Amino acid sequence: MNLTLIQKIAITMAVLGVLSTSGVQLTDILGSGIAKSVVSVSGLINSVLAAIVAVISGQSAIIKQVASMPGVERVSVNADANVILAQAATDPTLKNVGATTPEVRQSLLTKAVS
């Protein structure tokens, strides 16, 4: 199975979510002191991971992920693109992301700097 970074973090967050809400069960298994620590640490780590997911799942990151997928030859962007997509389409380092036509590229260049 080929999981993306976001999927791996989501699975980790699910496990941490279970741990952070199973205080009663963990108390029976581990004792109250350890259970309290596990619940607290799980909750804190889960919050940090949620913040990381918010950053790495932004539109520009998703565009780069799609562009780098095997089998994707080109991501064509038209004039309706928002600023983030316009910036990606005009980024010279993203070789397989670009405008649909030269005219659209000009409008995307203008949009990308706004």
Q: Where are the alpha helices (DSSP H) in the chain?
A: 5-20, 23-30, 32-56, 59-67, 83-89, 102-112
Q: Is the dihedral of CA 10, 11, 17, 20 positive or negative?
A: negative
Q: Are residues 43 and 25 in the same domain?
A: yes
Residue 26: what pLDDT? 95
Q: What is the pLDDT of residues 21-44, one digit of tens each?
A: 999 999 999 999 999 999 999 999
CA atoms of 19 and 43, how far apart (whole Å): 8
Domain span at residue 11? 5-56
CA atoms of 85 and 107, how far apart (whole Å): 12
pTM: 0.67
Q: Are residues 49 and 70 in the same domain?
A: no
Q: Are residues 35 and 75 in the same domain?
A: no
Q: Are residues 105 and 66 in the same domain?
A: yes
Give the number of domains in the chain: 2
